[in-house]
Chains A and B, each alone.
Chain A
Amino acid sequence: MPDHLTATFSALADPTRRAILARLTLGQASVNQLAEPFSLSQPAISKHLKVLERAGLITRGREAQWRPCKLHAAALKDIADWLEPYRRLWEQRLDRLDEHLRILQSETGRKST
């Protein structure tokens, strides 16, 4: 199973990083803009941004001065999808229950006629 999910979850485990992501859902922002609401230095924020970037949760612009951070929504989608196979297991299970009930009732039907 992909290690990147672990990286994503680790990145999301930190409240400051979650707050940064929440801010980025409103649109791209510079490091200064992101640092503003937190009582953190710019290097501290940059450290968090590196973790988020490595986890694929954000991308950064290439312009030398203003390197805007942008949310990379696809990585968040992977997180949302982790439970889908479990849903498929349950669907499969209920299909078989449905099938079992059909067989049961057709047998009872035959017996009573």
Chain B
Amino acid sequence: MTRPATDREILITRELDAPRELAWQAMTNPKHVVQWWGPRGFTTTIRAMDLRPGGVWTYVMHGPDGTDYKNRSVFHEVVYPERLVFAHGGSRAGGPEADFIATWTFDAVEASKTRVTIRMVFPTVAARDTIVREYGAIEGAHQTLERLAEHLPTMGYASRDLVIERTVDAPPALVFRCWTDPAHMARWWAPHGFTNPVCELDVRIGGTWRIVMRAPGGTDYPCHGIYHEIVPDRRLVFTNIATDTAGNPVLDGRTTVTFGAADGKTRMTVTTGAIAVVDYAAAYLEGMEIGWTQSLERLDAEVARSS
């Protein structure tokens, strides 16, 4: 819950008509940030945005009157898709330094609505008042969130569920083990021709899993998530987030797998959600598919040669 703003804080909040995974992408992908950052009439040039604790974010905001405002922030917390905390410093040439700790929080109001809250904490009441007076920080923040709200629908995002059923010739206990034992999981999770050089599964509720899929050409496709439900031999629920090599989320969803016994065989039902910026997800999957298709073609050629 948000506390009321004290006299050395600025607190701004707004409801956004998009899931928080998307709001996060708009906030953390420089390509998107420059589209909406700053009050109306401002443009932004990002010099660097190293999104990890201790990482530096430098950018210049260009005011409508031609004034440049240099900004340098250091990230303190990066918690996808919930919270971003950074220490901000910056000013216009000769202007007062705007030093504050900014916390951006994204709360899911419902599946496709997000409440974004910006909290800026200043060292003193006087510092806060100066920034409000000199830079119009409150009105500026409102306008910034307005621009964010306008940018989100243009990002081309979609959210869908995928259901796949499959019967395999093995008992549920063995199939369940293949989903929960890293030695087994590493043998099958990535597509054909890929390897899984990293496969860490902390199979308990709240535990994290992390797998890196490596394509035959050497490109890495990392993914990770958290376990939400574990019913041995019957049911497994976990979040499933695929990221690009820079760590930006590409596909986000929750995966539920049920295991049903059927005459010594196992009927698996995999239901997996996908929240994505469609262009990014499509490019990501296309790259992966080229990898496994080529690998299967090589296998075919190998078989043809040896037979």
Contact = CB atoms under 8 A, between A and B. Distances in A.
Report whether chain A binds chain B: yes
B25 interface: no
Interface in B154-181: 154-158, 160, 162, 164, 166, 168-170, 174-175, 178
Given A5-B279, A14-B153, A101-B168, A86 B251 contact: yes
Contacts of B168: 94, 97-98, 101
Contacts of B178: 97, 100-101, 104
A102 B174 CA distance: 11
A94 B166 contact: yes
A66 interface: no
Given A9-B278, A79-B158, A101 B174 contact: yes
Contacts of B278: 1, 5-6, 9, 82
A6 B285 CA distance: 17
A10 B156 contact: yes
A79 B279 CA distance: 11
A85 B189 CA distance: 16
B279 A100 contact: no
A105 B187 CA distance: 14
30 contacts: A1-B279, A5-B156, A6-B154, A6-B279, A9-B157, A13-B153, A79-B158, A82-B278, A83-B162, A83-B274, A85-B286, A86-B162, A86-B251, A86-B274, A86-B285, A87-B164, A89-B288, A89-B289, A94-B164, A94-B168, A94-B268, A94-B270, A96-B187, A96-B189, A96-B191, A97-B175, A101-B170, A104-B170, A104-B174, A104-B178
Given A14-B153, A94-B166, 18 more contacts: A1-B282, A6-B154, A9-B155, A10-B156, A82-B281, A82-B282, A83-B162, A86-B162, A86-B274, A87-B164, A88-B285, A92-B292, A93-B188, A94-B168, A99-B188, A100-B184, A101-B174, A105-B169
